[in-house]
Structure 1
């Protein structure tokens, strides 16, 4: 991490390594340099995951802007004010709870740093919410085949897209874990190739590569001439529409846009997203006799309840069952 931390009183910006990341609210700047610095440290020091950092930054800034609009000072924010904010929050229950967690964590960091005596968010409760089934769009087996078969693989970009989608589907991996792979993270072990996935918390998760994903990855690696490009991203961006790969790794939003284009072109569920293939792969695995325990291990889920959210076997209602309804 770079030591360059910028603090400005107007349109305050928090930046690390020269890249603006988090807007520093005026209410924090007005609270003094020690408060502002501790606030910055909460995001840059205590949160290592970039996605979590940005989600928390958005949530905290939204809350502090709300406080500022009501004339509150940072040190004067009370549990009552936080409860009022949560009560009026327009988001869904999961969003509200995530925002409350971000607010509670930020104030907790202030307490441990000696900025505040107590955490005003410690006792504030969010809405109750229990999920039994995930909402991620899932592709049927037929749709998965149609999607993969529809991709034009006469050029390296098509090979890249097919290999990326197949890797997510057959490994149950998060898109960030797959996009974080380097060339050497696709490696031989015994008679087969394995995947080394970059999971949350800096953990590595190694699993054997499904033969179909291995076939697609090999073709992509051959065409892109990546076998000797150790230390560089496995899945790369292109130079405009030239179909020439760069040395820069593909980002989540770019992968999402690609999937939307591919789904539309294939005529399959256009609600498909990066997470779709994780859910589709797990559902396929369970439908074909795989156990939930093994699905949990492959997906690197800490809790079996998380794996259960991806089990969408009950989503499909057959016509025969519908015809049981009679008048």
Structure 2
């Protein structure tokens, strides 16, 4: 706990614990907000002022001098506004010095994640040799990324119970960001890939809470009972991209970009694509749309200089 919080007394300590242990449920948001708050409070120690006397001028100076990208500064400002709002509510501060600090204008009209493209996605899947359990697993994981537009973390979190037949079709039950739960049907070719992979696991003898995708025991190529993590999905895709002779700048998220762009190119309504992607706001879905980028490239090629 930063020194300024401890010196401010019980109310400030209570607000600190409440904010980081109870208010913020997403672990990634909690970690990012904590870094921003600690960074400010550590920086503010040089002015030898108590917590209650930190001013909007100091808050504005901190944001102006903040080292990082525009999105990083916006996140820091949001974190500090929220934290000091709670300090005011708990009467640990008289005012929120960040409430009057204006953030810089910043908007994104297209995401930075490169699109792997349909042909490269097919090439990647076809390149995976499925003669060993690890190959069957990797092909299944990449197949799920390609044919469901799910995030790497959601794929890594799947349990055996999350891939099941409901009487009419197989499907996946994903636990997504923001506590969302989504069911996505499994298309026929992906179903065949999944059933080949599941044949390597004695599913009848295992709990339905067991991980669907498992880690590998060293270089043996054999699967363990331990779950993979989101970072493992990232690493295995990089390895498979290299083996397929494809650019390693692609990532699991590149499949998500390709799926969204492909469906929009086919004229699928934006709201349907938004539902598949699990976005709360259609503006987020549009960030994944690379159609405009392709049009721009075509226009550039037509310059007759």
TM-score, structure 2 as length reference: 0.91
Q: Output the CA distance in 1 between the equivalents of 2:123 and 2:49.
A: 56
Of 250, 255, 258, the match for 1:272: 250
* Alpha-carbon contact 2:115-2:255 (below 8 Å) kept: yes
Structure-2 change in CA distance of 1:88 and 1:149 (3 Å): same
Q: Output the CA distance in 2 between the equivalents of 1:85 and 1:73.
A: 16
Aligned to 2:263: 285
Q: Output the CA distance in 2 between the equivalents of 1:262 and 1:300.
A: 27
1:223-242 pair list within 5 angstroms: 223-226=200-203, 228-242=206-220
* Alpha-carbon contact 1:171-1:210 (below 8 Å) kept: no
Aligned to 1:316: 294
CA-to-aligned-CA distance 1:61-91 (integer Å, 9 cap, x gap): 2222222344444333222212111111121
CA-to-aligned-CA distance 1:178-226 (integer Å, 9 cap, x gap): 2222110111123211111102232211121122322222221111334
Q: Output the CA distance in 2 between the equivalents of 1:300 and 1:269.
A: 27
Aligned to 1:166: 143
Structure-2 change in CA distance of 1:154 and 1:29 (3 Å): farther
Structure-2 change in CA distance of 1:197 and 1:318 (3 Å): same
Aligned to 1:20: none
Structure-2 change in CA distance of 1:62 and 1:272 (3 Å): farther
CA apart distance, 1:323: 5.0
Which segments of 5 or more consecutive residues in structure 1 lack a partner in the other structure? 1-23
Structure-2 change in CA distance of 1:25 and 1:213 (3 Å): farther
TM-score, structure 1 as length reference: 0.85
Which segments of 5 or more consecutive residues in structure 2 lack a partner in the other structure? none
Q: Output the CA distance in 2 between the equivalents of 1:69 and 1:90.
A: 18
Of 78, 101, 107, the match for 2:55: 78
Highest relative contact order (Cα 8 Å, sep 6+), 1 or 2? 2
* Structure that is richer in helix per residue: 2
Moved over 4 A (4+): 317-323
Structure-2 change in CA distance of 1:75 and 1:317 (3 Å): same
Q: Output the CA distance in 1 between the equivalents of 2:6 and 2:271.
A: 49
